[in-house]
Structure 1
Amino acid sequence: MPAPDTTATEPADAPPRHTRRWLRPAVITVLLALFTVELVLGWPSLASALSQLRAPRLNWFAVALLAEVAAMGCYARMQRRLLRSAGVKVPIQHHIALAYAAHSLSVTLPGGPAFSTHFNYQQMRRFGATPAVASWCIALSGMLSAAALAVVTAISALVSDGDLQWHSLITPALAVLLLTVGIRRITRHPEKVEPATRAALARVNRLRHLPETQGLDRIRGFIEQLRTARLKPRHAAVAAVFAVLNWLLDAGCLWLCFHAISDTRISNAQLLLAFCAGMAAGTLTIIPGGLGLIDSALILGLVTGGVATGTAIATVVLYRIISFGFIIGVGWITWLIIRRHNRREPEPEAAVQRG
């Protein structure tokens, strides 16, 4: 059977195939060369750090591991609360498994957040959420987590200056409040977003040379499903607390790793600020896991806080062994288990449980 002719469907401005063949190997080669140069230049400090890791205090290390596990549990509980607010009730172990698996997809694959979002959506549909509720929960959990990190960063910055000015917290608090009120208003009255949605759909359809109302019925059905996605104040408050605890426990893991390595003292506010800077830097990289960028930001933040360079590197290496190596390993194992389970059981019809 002859191969189908695909020249008609390929965009006119697409790069030639022979260019795409060598582009990926070239990019991989450049990245490997960059990592090699960085390894050679940073080897003395890395060797010093690894030498300190030969005998970390096991009691501190064990508590650090528990803190990171607890942080993952808080993120899972945050998402569970959001789904419960929409009427979807699922045992906590399913949410924890989803949190580990989705996190591993997000931080280890190129373009990982897209894979993680798709996986989250599929699993929430299996939990019984409608398409609108699943999309709403994923979007809201991301915004809530980002807002929690912003609040923790603002507080740590203010405390590190030694002069806590409460009026400086008004802006982030007001932003979170407005975001929450806006989301509640949309879910209570989703029909109010239909005019804007219909106008945007008409423009897109004109560009695609389709009727202006093409796909409007599906959008109306999606909007109607949003009526079940109401963020109740009690669930919103608990979800926000879990979002903040997720970051604080993650930062606590870094703090415990520092004490597993060194007997010296460090300002808790400076360490928390270094942690927030590292997490913020991780959102700006396309490298899986933020390797290099997060580590550099954490090390720089610790050194700025008065920690010796070797101790700072050792602390970050130990922290990344837990937060990246251990958590990602568990996450991929969990993903394989979930995937095998999904193959055995067909996807059920989404029926939102009320309660």
Structure 2
Amino acid sequence: MLPLLLVTVIAVRHRAVLAEGFSLLTTARWPWLLAAAGVTCLTWVAAAFTRQGAVVERLPRRRLLATQFAAGAANHMLPTGLGASAVNLRFMTVCGLSPARSSAALALYLLAESAGRVGLLAALLVTFPGALPFGSLLPEGALGPLLVAGGAVVAAAAGVLAAVRPVRRVVRAFLETALSEARSVHALPSRALALWGGALAFPALQATVLVLVGVAFGLAVPPAHMAVAYLAATVAVALVPTPGGLGSVETALVVALVAVGGAAATATAVVLVFRVVTVWVPLLPGALTLAALVRLKVI
């Protein structure tokens, strides 16, 4: 709840900008928004390819795609992607994979998705080195405490592994299973292509949605810079434990778009509509799909 509270405080302090951003919603060019909705649908296809690439067995295609759509709704019920992970774990178990192999496939998916997002961001920053001034994304003096907090988390995890033998055994067994699964998947070119191709396509498609919404509002930022802002913002909020990144993603995106040269009010309107297209419009049909899949025992 703490991130939501902080975002609420920020929203109250900048309520004038928010009000101005809401007033711009009627100025959007609808053909670009329809294109953004179409690209959003492709993100579920990319997620399905990545999920299939993480396992050797062929998963039922239609049910796999429907599960990714439903997982999007579940992702907004639990923090840090736990909802989508739970849905996909159950789906793979129903498809006949053991819990250990399902968990290994999930870990491989998360690793590929993270690597694809960070790799795409790095490639764009190399191509457009001046696209994003990172100093403007963090409050002054915040980098030191963040590094200290990150080091403390790593040290605590290492301490638990060193001190608790049962935890070491579980982690060792999981890593052995995960490495075995990764070798099996990469021995099949079709699976490796699906895994890494989908992992790159997913964030690229999401960034494209933001670019299309930005164009719909006439945001005075080059498309490549908008894509960099999106990738940087989502990487930055990946560790913030709010359901579906609620609040934290919106704040980070507005800050990033302003950092690359966008007007605050227009950036606010762009982010609001971007989240409506990618989160709130698919939420109800995704929840209904999730209920149907549970009822049909697909998950």
Q: Of 92, 95, 101, which residue of structure 1 is paired with 2:61?
A: 92
Give the deviation of 1:293 after TM superposition. 2.0
Aligned to 2:38: 66
What aligned pairs does 1:212-227 form with structure 2 within 5 A after superposition? none
Paired with 1:247 and 1:72, the residues of 2 have a C-alpha distance of 11
Cα gap change, 1:256 to 1:33, in 2 (>3 Å) = closer
Paired with 1:32 and 1:162, the residues of 2 have a C-alpha distance of 31
Aligned to 1:41: 13
Give the deviation of 1:31 after TM superposition. 7.5
Deviations 1:91-140 (A, max 9, x none): 3221122112223323x234453443333211111122233332221111
Cα gap change, 1:52 to 1:236, in 2 (>3 Å) = same
Give the deviation of 1:69 after TM superposition. 1.0
Give the total of aligned pairs.
264
Q: Does the alignment pair 1:326 with 2:298?
A: no
Q: Of 61, 72, 87, which residue of structure 2 is paired with 1:103?
A: 72
Q: Does the alignment pair 1:277 with 2:232?
A: yes
Give the deviation of 1:141 after TM superposition. 0.6
Give the deviation of 1:301 after TM superposition. 1.6
- Is 1:145–1:244's contact at 8 Å kept on the other side of the alignment? yes
- Identity score, percent: 24
Give the deviation of 1:326 after TM superposition. 2.0
Aligned to 1:141: 109
Paired with 1:31 and 1:128, the residues of 2 have a C-alpha distance of 38
One-letter amino acid of the counterpart of residue 95, structure 2: F
What aligned pairs does 1:12-27 form with structure 2 within 5 A after superposition? none
Q: Does the alignment pair 1:241 with 2:210?
A: no
Aligned to 2:184: 230
SS at match of 1:289: coil
Paired with 1:227 and 1:300, the residues of 2 have a C-alpha distance of 40
Paired with 1:289 and 1:118, the residues of 2 have a C-alpha distance of 14
Q: Of 121, 128, 135, which residue of structure 2 is paired with 1:153?
A: 121
Q: Does the alignment pair 1:310 with 2:260?
A: no
Cα gap change, 1:61 to 1:37, in 2 (>3 Å) = same
Deviations 1:186-219 (A, max 9, x none): xxxxxxxxxxxxxx9x9329x9xxxx9xx9xxx6
Paired with 1:229 and 1:103, the residues of 2 have a C-alpha distance of 29
Aligned to 1:118: 86
Aligned to 1:252: 208
Cα gap change, 1:329 to 1:278, in 2 (>3 Å) = farther
Give the deviation of 1:268 after TM superposition. 2.5
Q: TM-score, normalised by structure 1?
A: 0.66
One-letter amino acid of the counterpart of residue 258, structure 1: G
Give the deviation of 1:288 after TM superposition. 1.7
Aligned to 1:352: none
Larger mean Cα displacement after TM superposition, 61-70 or 289-298: 289-298
Give the deviation of 1:79 after TM superposition. 0.9
Cα gap change, 1:223 to 1:254, in 2 (>3 Å) = closer
SS at match of 1:161: coil
What aligned pairs does 1:165-180 form with structure 2 within 5 A after superposition? none
One-letter amino acid of the counterpart of residue 66, structure 2: A
Paired with 2:47 and 2:97, the residues of 1 have a C-alpha distance of 19
Q: Does the alignment pair 1:204 with 2:166?
A: yes
Larger mean Cα displacement after TM superposition, 242-251 or 128-137: 128-137
Give the deviation of 1:325 after TM superposition. 0.9
Gaps of 5+ in 1: 1-27, 164-199, 348-355
Give the alignment's Cα RMSD to 1 decimal: 3.3
Aligned to 1:23: none
Aligned to 1:7: none
Give the deviation of 1:50 after TM superposition. 1.3
- Is 2:52–2:194's contact at 8 Å kept on the other side of the alignment? no
Gaps of 5+ in 2: 132-161
Cα gap change, 1:227 to 1:157, in 2 (>3 Å) = closer
Paired with 2:215 and 2:203, the residues of 1 have a C-alpha distance of 19
Deviations 1:228-264 (A, max 9, x none): 97112332123211111111110000000011111x5
One-letter amino acid of the counterpart of residue 230, structure 1: S
Larger mean Cα displacement after TM superposition, 63-72 or 39-48: 39-48
Q: Which one scores higher on RCO, CA 8 angstroms, separation ≥ 6?
A: 2
Paired with 1:302 and 1:272, the residues of 2 have a C-alpha distance of 10
